[in-house]
């Protein structure tokens, strides 16, 4: 962002621009995303938009940051709520929270995962993975009976990436052969089998 809005009216306009940026991204996709479309959708002049956002990339940055923050907050809250639990129930609940977070806005997820250039998304997705991985490492380190893996950090890395990628593909692909409950059952079996070998 070029400058931080000071007055309430300016903050409202910036918020409208960001929300409109998300709408334009969903409706038109990354390739057709433009500051003019965002300004029109927000009901502001391009000049007003440029006071706060120097280009379309700066609007996209805020939209994408907010999206991944929403997903991270949802998943981290679920994992933190269950940090005292043990076993398959915790794995299932955490995977279910990830499914719910990614299903909340599958159109934005598709644009973020499949249309954005890799460099626009890599660091944000890594931050989500890191946040969840830290919680998973803490969980595994505090419960040595839950896992036979020699390194809680390495096990957390494998589990987080495996679950994230399975859930991401399931939400995007919507395979007819596997229901949500089946997916969660398979994730519990996968994680449980890995951690206990």
The pTM assigned to this predicted structure is 0.80
Q: Rounded to a whole number, what is the distance in angstroms from the first to the last CA of the chain? A: 49
What span, in angstroms and rounded, lies between the C-alpha atoms of 93 and 98?
Answer: 9
Segments in the chain forming alpha helices (H):
8-28, 35-42, 46-52, 56-81, 88-103, 106-110, 118-142, 152-173, 180-195
Segments in 43-87 forming alpha helices (H):
46-52, 56-81
pLDDT digits (tens, 9 = 90+) for 86-130: 678 888 888 998 899 899 888 889 988 888 887 777 888 888 888
> Contact 142/177 with Cβ under 8 angstroms?
no
Q: Write down the pLDDT at residue 83.
A: 67
pLDDT digits (tens, 9 = 90+) for 25-54: 999 988 999 999 999 999 999 999 999 999
> Contact 84/142 with Cβ under 8 angstroms?
no
Q: Write down the pLDDT at residue 117.
A: 82
Domains of the chain in sequence order:
8-54 (1.10.10.60), 63-195 (1.10.357.10)
What span, in angstroms and rounded, lies between the C-alpha atoms of 101 and 76?
Answer: 11
pLDDT digits (tens, 9 = 90+) for 123-156: 888 888 888 888 889 888 888 888 889 999 999 9
């Amino acid at each position: 962002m070029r400058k931080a809005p000071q007055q309430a009216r300016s903050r409202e306009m910036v918020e409208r621009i960001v929300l409109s940026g998300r709408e334009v991204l969903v409706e038109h996709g990354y390739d057709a995303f433009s500051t003019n479309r965002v300004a029109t959708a927000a009901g502001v002049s391009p000049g007003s938009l440029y006071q706060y956002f120097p280009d379309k990339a700066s609007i996209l940055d805020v939209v994408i940051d907010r999206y991944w923050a929403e997903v991270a907050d949802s998943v981290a809250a679920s994992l933190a709520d269950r940090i005292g639990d043990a076993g398959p129930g915790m794995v299932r609940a955490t995977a279910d929270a990830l499914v719910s977070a990614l299903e909340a806005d599958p159109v934005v997820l598709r644009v973020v995962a499949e249309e954005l250039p890799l460099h626009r998304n890599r660091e944000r997705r890594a931050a989500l993975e890191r946040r969840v991985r830290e919680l998973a490492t803490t969980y595994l380190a505090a419960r040595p009976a839950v896992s036979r893996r020699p390194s809680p950090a390495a096990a957390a890395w494998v589990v987080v990436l495996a679950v994230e990628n399975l859930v991401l593909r399931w939400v995007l692909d919507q395979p007819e052969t596997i229901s949500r409950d089946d997916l969660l059952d398979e994730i519990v079996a996968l994680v449980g089998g890995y951690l206990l070998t």
